[in-house]
Amino acid sequence: MLVKTLSSVLWLFSPPSHIPSLENKAKEAIILNACFWGVGNGLISTALVTYLIRDICAGHQGVPVGTVIAWIVAAPRIAGILRLAVPWLINRFGSRKWFTILAFTLSPLVLLGIPLGLSPLIHHAPLETVLGLLVMIWCIYHLIEYFGTTALWAMIGDLIPHEKRGRFLGIREAMMILGQTLGFLATGLYAYFVIDALPKTVPRWEGYLLPTYFGIACLLFAVIPLLRLSESSTVIPGKKASGGLLTPFRNRRL
């Protein structure tokens, strides 16, 4: 697995002539994207944001910490139903490849609002406002990422032949789990050796900001391999794209 990661990294910086086929090019790009995305996801995870909220609220009486954490978990899933609009958005945008790249670039930039905005806000705004903005940023970040993931999976369906898709997706998920594991491990070691050793005069929540910067950098770096993907079919017939928004709601099981 590590050998595959290293070979993918070397491929990223190799000239296009070294790529044997369009299919292999797509596989390498998507697997490398998953690995770096996994590292970023492990560095700035729901668990880290949960601990961040807990430490921000430390010493404040009457703050519904459990409710805020519940919204951190639930809000992105609730808003995620808007991914049904992705076919329509792709049609309006005109390119599935560049829609995917834009979504995966924009989502970490939205997430950057947490480390950049938290310090000034926490000293000049009510705690409820800070927590509300934190939930909103986390929700918007996930929603835009859902848009990119939906478009990427559609591209995978076009670029990878059906008979090879199962094994390929297994490798991709394994690489993503490897990346997440490395990110979780790095964050855990950082929390143990750095955050727990902070002086009493330094608020603990400030210690969680550094991993978020590294996580955002990895998420942005994960976009680079996607630049080398070829453009697959870009549009969906207008009637099908717009009508698909309501199709799930006609299903009684939903």
Instruction: Give the number of other CB atoms < 10 A from CB of residue 182.
Output: 17
What are the structural domain ranges in the chain? 43-246
Q: Using an 8 Å Cβ cutoff, are 39 and 180 in contact?
A: yes
| CATH top-level class of 43-246 | mainly alpha
Euclidean distance between CA atoms 133 and 129, whole angstroms: 6
**pLDDT tens string for the chain (254 positions)?**
454 554 554 444 444 444 446 678 888 899 999 999 999 999 999 989 998 898 888 777 777 888 999 999 999 989 888 888 898 898 888 889 999 999 999 999 999 999 998 888 887 888 888 899 999 999 999 999 999 999 999 899 888 888 888 899 999 999 999 999 999 999 999 988 888 888 877 888 888 888 999 999 999 999 999 998 887 644 455 555 555 667 777 778 87
The CA–CA distances, whole Å, from 83 to 49, 61, 87, 198 equal 23, 38, 9, 41
Give CA–CA dist 9/141, Å, rounded. Answer: 26
pTM > 0.85: yes or no = no
